[in-house]
């Protein structure tokens, strides 16, 4: 099994370094032109006698001279100064303003996005040459006028690039995790989003820098130059001599061309470096015994108080296609020390149930009603401070894909320590010691060096262990694990489930495990809630529901568990059809269209809740009459 890489990818190549060297050389020449043994650019050869008029390029004058004997090399070197000052100032201003606007538009969306994008569209649609002529005619051709014009024109591309990147990042798991941990919008933007858009901005900044130089040269060529010697002005000055002394135009044009090319190559190289390689190799680790020092216990294991109490919860999402009834009148409870499995096919509302608890949704328009109490805090009605504190301290979340849940540009130690310093009140030193202990608890070998790693330097199993450590950072009362093993191979899946079970053993930590795989819940959870089309259709003790399912959907799910005792060539059982659209769910039982025993009553009348004792209940008009044997031998 190959080891995961521990080196950052570079792949910058020879062209990048040659281009970067050219830029560095240019900057050094421009900075030290006055102290280097270079002629005065304004000195006239016809007076000084050092250079002849129209002297061709050679040892005496490397780039030749013009009709007055001015040294072209000295003028090209001094002409680099305004080009670099203009490019640098415009790039810094446009990139900074564009980044702020783009992040605000992409993160807050809604009205902010509409206003910012409307301004951007107007800026892009406005004819640049008209603006240039108008401003230059009224304000002159000083450096500051050019900086103002190019900055105004340059903001829009940065805004669009950053907005697009932010829209994608805002849906990444690590941003959702930060929200779920109660981080403020400002903190999410500065800690999670900005570090991830910096390389994209930097990449375009080099290209934008080149565009500014090219634009200045083009303007000078049509007589709209700055009030000082620039490359564009040199090109323009040499134009009348193009036939007899072509070098006067070609040399500054070539220097400008090479410089623009160099900035573009460097920009491309920086952009390429932004693509952080994902490591797919998997290392397997033994799940070690857990030290007692940082057991997640917060009270006695016999404590049976309610940690999560969901009552008649309804969540409607307002989308462009209509109102999606994602969670419909759902009630369930999880007690201290208990693990509840929320099971069902993909699209049945399990993840939306978790999002309803956390208050993180993919759309802005959300209507929640009912009640969600987490360890006594009403999550729908509590003030922001109380809710954020509960999210940051009382709830830990374990996501489906740890690679997307961890911020790729921040080291593991910073990500684990943050919730402890932000919400737990620990100092940096205390948080680091706790992070080290947590990594040991979750079975990560050599935790000291792993703390300094970036997420891509860890295997998939290790990343999920880090996420578990992150979830446990503040000793939460409740852990929400949303398909925590889906992105892992079977061996690592088993290790992670056993690790979660070990961590919960003897503690009062409650857990909600979301999974579409009934096979993983047996042995790892105490109770099951089966979800279908946004509703809970059956709930009860895990062993009892698996052994004696009542709802036809639960029976169908259990039948679809692969049975390793069967002939390997036999057909796997499936549930025909697909869950109904939650935009307009059918009346009556939502499983009716797929149920083999559905009748007219099922299609018209919503089944009532039937209790069958031992905390086992279901909603079905025609429950199972016979026991379904649970698939074993997996």
Interface residues with ligand SF4 (CB under 6 A) are 551-553, 589, 591-592, 595, 597-598, 602, 607, 620-622
Whether 326 and 348 have beta carbons less than 8 Å apart is answered as no
- Report in angstroms how near the CB of residue 576 gets to ligand SF4 at its nearest: 13
State which residue, 107 or 591, has the beta carbon closest to ligand SF4. Answer: 591
Distances (CA, A) of 137 to 125, 126, 131, 152: 21, 18, 10, 17
Beta strands at 339-343 and 510-515: parallel, antiparallel or unpaired: parallel
- Report in angstroms how near the CB of residue 614 gets to ligand SF4 at its nearest: 21
Q: What's the token pair of residue 133?
A: 């002529």
State which residue, 245 or 551, has the beta carbon closest to ligand SF4. Answer: 551
- Report in angstroms how near the CB of residue 549 gets to ligand SF4 at its nearest: 11
State which residue, 322 or 587, has the beta carbon closest to ligand SF4. Answer: 587
State which residue, 25 or 597, has the beta carbon closest to ligand SF4. Answer: 597
Long-range contacts of 20-27 (CB under 8 A, 24+ apart): 20/262, 20/266, 20/269, 22/258, 22/259, 22/262, 23/259, 23/262, 23/263, 23/266, 26/80, 26/84, 26/259, 27/84
Cβ-Cβ contacts under 8 Å for 63 (sequence gap 6 or more): 57, 71, 72, 73, 76, 247, 251
State which residue, 462 or 537, has the beta carbon closest to ligand SF4. Answer: 537
- Report in angstroms how near the CB of residue 622 gets to ligand SF4 at its nearest: 4
Measured in whole angstroms, the distance separating CA 90 from the mean position of its chain's CA atoms is 28
- Report in angstroms how near the CB of residue 369 gets to ligand SF4 at its nearest: 25
- Report in angstroms how near the CB of residue 268 gets to ligand SF4 at its nearest: 58
How far apart are the C-alpha atoms of 549 and 545, rounded to whole Å? 5
State which residue, 198 or 589, has the beta carbon closest to ligand SF4. Answer: 589
Phi-psi region of 453 (alpha: psi -120 to 50; beta: other; left: phi over 0): beta
DSSP string, 498-510: HHHHHHHTTS--E
State which residue, 109 or 622, has the beta carbon closest to ligand SF4. Answer: 622
- Report in angstroms how near the CB of residue 328 gets to ligand SF4 at its nearest: 15
State which residue, 70 or 551, has the beta carbon closest to ligand SF4. Answer: 551
How far apart are the C-alpha atoms of 281 and 488, rounded to whole Å? 11
Helices (H), 32-142: 45-48, 72-108, 110-125, 128-139
- Report in angstroms how near the CB of residue 575 gets to ligand SF4 at its nearest: 11
State which residue, 252 or 623, has the beta carbon closest to ligand SF4. Answer: 623
- Report in angstroms how near the CB of residue 533 gets to ligand SF4 at its nearest: 11
Strand segments (E) across 431-581:
478-482, 510-515, 527-532, 535-541
How far apart are the C-alpha atoms of 575 and 347, rounded to whole Å? 14
How far apart are the C-alpha atoms of 282 and 459, rounded to whole Å? 5
């Amino acid at each position: 099994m190959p080891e995961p890489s521990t080196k950052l990818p570079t792949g910058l190549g020879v062209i990048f370094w040659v281009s970067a060297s050219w830029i560095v050389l240019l900057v050094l020449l421009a900075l030290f032109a006055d102290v280097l043994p270079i002629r005065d650019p304004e000195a006239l050869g016809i007076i000084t006698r050092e250079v002849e008029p129209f002297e061709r390029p050679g040892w005496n004058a490397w780039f030749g001279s013009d009709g007055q004997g001015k040294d072209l090399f000295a003028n090209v070197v001094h002409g680099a100064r305004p080009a670099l000052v203009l490019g640098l100032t415009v790039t810094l201003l446009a990139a900074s303003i564009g980044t702020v606007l783009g992040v605000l538009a992409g993160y807050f969306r809604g009205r902010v996005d509409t206003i910012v994008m409307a301004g951007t569209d107007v800026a892009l649609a406005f004819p640049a040459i008209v603006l240039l002529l108008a401003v230059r005619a009224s304000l002159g051709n000083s450096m500051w006028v050019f900086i103002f014009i190019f900055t105004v024109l340059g903001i829009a591309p940065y805004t669009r690039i950053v907005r697009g990147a932010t829209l994608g990042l805002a849906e990444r798991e690590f941003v959702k995790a930060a929200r779920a941990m109660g981080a403020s919008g400002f903190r999410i933007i500065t800690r999670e989003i900005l570090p991830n858009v910096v390389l994209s901005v930097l990449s375009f900044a080099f290209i934008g820098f080149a565009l500014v130089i090219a634009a200045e040269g083009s303007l000078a060529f049509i007589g709209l130059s700055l009030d000082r010697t620039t490359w564009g002005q040199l090109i323009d000055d040499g134009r009348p001599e193009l036939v007899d002394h072509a070098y006067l135009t070609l040399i500054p044009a070539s220097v400008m061309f090479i410089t623009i090319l160099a900035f573009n190559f460097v920009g491309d190289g920086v952009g390429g470096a932004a693509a952080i390689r994902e490591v797919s190799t998997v290392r397997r680790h033994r799940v070690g015994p857990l030290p007692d020092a940082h057991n997640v216990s917060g009270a006695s294991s016999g404590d049976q108080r309610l940690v999560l109490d969901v009552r008649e919860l309804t969540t409607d999402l307002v989308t462009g296609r209509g109102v999606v009834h994602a969670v419909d009148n759902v009630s369930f409870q999880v007690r201290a020390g208990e693990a509840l499995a929320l099971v069902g096919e993909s699209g049945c509302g399990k993840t939306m149930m978790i999002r309803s608890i956390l208050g993180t949704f993919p759309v802005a328009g959300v209507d929640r009603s009912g009640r969600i109490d987490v360890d006594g805090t009403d999550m729908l009605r509590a003030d922001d401070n109380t809710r954020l504190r509960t999210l940051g301290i009382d709830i830990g979340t374990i996501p489906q894909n740890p690679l997307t849940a961890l911020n790729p540009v921040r080291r593991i130690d910073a990500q684990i320590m943050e919730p402890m310093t932000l919400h737990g009140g620990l100092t940096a030193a205390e948080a680091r010691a706790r992070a080290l202990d947590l990594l040991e608890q979750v079975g990560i070998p050599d935790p000291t060096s792993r703390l300094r790693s970036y997420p891509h330097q860890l295997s998939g199993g290790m990343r999920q262990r880090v996420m578990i450590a992150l979830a446990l950072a503040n000793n939460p009362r409740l852990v929400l694990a949303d398909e925590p093993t889906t992105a892992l191979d079977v061996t690592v899946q088993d290790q992670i489930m056993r690790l979660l079970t070990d961590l919960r053993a003897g503690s009062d930590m409650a857990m909600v495990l979301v999974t579409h795989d009934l096979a993983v819940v047996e042995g790892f959870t105490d109770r099951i809630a089966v979800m279908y089309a946004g509703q809970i259709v059956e709930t009860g003790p895990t062993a009892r529901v698996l052994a004696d399912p009542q709802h036809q959907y639960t029976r169908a799910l259990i039948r679809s568990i692969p049975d390793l005792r069967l002939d390997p060539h036999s057909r796997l059982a499936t549930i025909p059809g697909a869950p109904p659209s939650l935009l307009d769910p059918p009346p009556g039982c939502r499983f009716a269209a797929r149920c083999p025993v559905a009748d007219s009553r099922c299609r018209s009348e919503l089944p009532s809740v039937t209790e069958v004792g031992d905390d086992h209940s279901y909603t079905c008009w025609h429950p199972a009459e016979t026991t379904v044997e649970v698939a074993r031998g997996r």
